[in-house]
Amino acid sequence: MSNIVVSLDIGSSKVCVLIAELNKKQFNILGVGTSECKGVKKGIIVDIDSTVDAIKNAVKQAEQMSNREIKSVYVNICGGYANLYRNKGVIAVTREDREITAEDVKRVMQAAKVVAVPADKEIIDIIPEQFIVDGYEEIRDPIGMVGVRLEVDANLVVASCTSVQNIRRSIQKAGLTLDGIVLEPLGTAAAILNEDEMELGVALVDVGAETTDISVFKKGSLVFTKVIPVGGNHITNDISIISKISSSDAEKIKKQYGVASVKLVKNDDIIKINNIAGKGEKEIHLSDVAQIMDARISEILFLIRKQLEENNMLASLSAGVVITGGGLFNIKGIQDVAQSYFDVPVRLGYPNYIGVANPTYAAATGIAIYSLKQKRTSSISSKSVNVSDEAAVEIDDEYSLEAKPGIIEKIKEFFADFF
């Protein structure tokens, strides 16, 4: 039996829809769609109609690729706009043989949700840290064990009712049903981080267009999340304003010639672009662009470090920092510059799967993986599709994913359009 999930990543610059399937031990990417989005500012929906249009466009692309009709989706919410409330749930095991079942786990999780939250907040998810059976702690999966008392230490994910309602309204106006809301760091971590990193202590830094999400994982659990209102677009805007060029030209220069430090500029080359007024050409010195980018990137890295230090997180990052997201990922030298700022190991992370091997797909891929781990599915109409022809990756019992060879040429050509 196959399980299909549809993930929806609503970002400040784009909307991404991904259709994924877990069939026995195979994780199949069935369809991907992206669309520019102008209805979100700093992670918050400010224009529902524009957001709805972007969702519809992305859904249409994913449906055309997969030859399926999407009816429901799982969506993300930024980590910095949600709070974690620690709570405990306790139940008695009622079976005569005292064996703990999946139903018992479900009941104890529901018991952990019984807590007073502010009137303007609502619980959107629950993350178990550990289960306790008759006083024995640090149990990850109690199903099949024997006991009379089952407890869970869990973090409740609580978000603003306004933010959640705007997400729901956008999805409904797009003609879809909301399956659930996933805290973005949990999804991104599922696609980017490995178990050792999450156990030892790691900071996941997701730099988007207008915001940067900072999340810290220890002992396999999310322990801290924060959002700062700066991202890749701020670098583009700086280049545009200071150099007096259009935003589109500034973005092209950033991607093609951008560096994370002025020390990386060897030659003061000059490039020529059209003036904003459309008369003549303007000369841009790459050394000037490097100085602009160096200043803004230094600010972003400083703010990240400041958050980690103020919350006593930096010293415990045994596995270092993992940077993802489209804001900084492709800038030359960012890994070395970031490592000098944080004084801990730094690596760049992205989903290592055919078709989505790009940090801009980290959240959408992660939402799908996270949802499938939780045995959650979406509603989707299947048409005549040969599943063997889909992009597939191998998945083991622990849901660690590895690329599987033999992808058909048609899929390769389709995915090439994304890069």
- What pTM was estimated for this model as a whole? 0.80
State residue 382's pLDDT score: 61
3-state helix, strand, coil in the chain (%, to 5): 35, 35, 30
Ordered domains of the chain (ranges, CATH): 2-70+352-416 (3.30.420), 82-161 (3.30.1490.110), 193-230+296-348 (3.30.420.40), 241-293 (3.90.640)
Predicted pLDDT at 386:
43
pLDDT exceeds 60 at position 217: yes
What is the average per-residue pLDDT within 345-369? 89
As a whole number, the mean pLDDT across the chain is 85
Whether residue 104 contacts residue 92, with contact meaning beta carbons closer than 8 Å, is answered with: no
The pairing of strands 26-36 and 391-395 is antiparallel
For residue 360, give the 3-state DSSP assignment: helix
Residue in 12, 371, 18, 345 with CA at minimum distance from that of residue 183: 371
Residue 282 has pLDDT above 90, yes or no: no
- The answer to whether 326 and 210 have CB atoms below 8 angstroms apart is no
Exposure pattern of 345-381 as b/e (b: 16+ CB <10 Å)? Answer: ebbebbbebbbbebbbbbbbbbbbbbbbeeeebbebe
Residues with Cβ within 8 Å of 365's Cβ and at least 6 positions away in sequence, in order, are 7, 18, 20, 191, 351, 353, 356
d(CA 217, CA 366): 15
Q: Do 236 and 254 contact (CB within 8 A), yes or no?
A: yes
- Residue 394: both structure tokens together: 């191998």
What pairing do the DSSP bridges indicate for beta strands 136-139 and 121-133? antiparallel
Mean pLDDT of all residues in 32-57 = 90
Please say whether the beta carbons of 418 and 105 come within 8 A: no
* Integer angstrom CA distances of residue 34 from 9, 15, 61, 164, 350: 9, 6, 7, 22, 17
Using one digit for the tens of pLDDT, what is the confidence trace for 72-95?
999 988 876 788 888 999 999 988
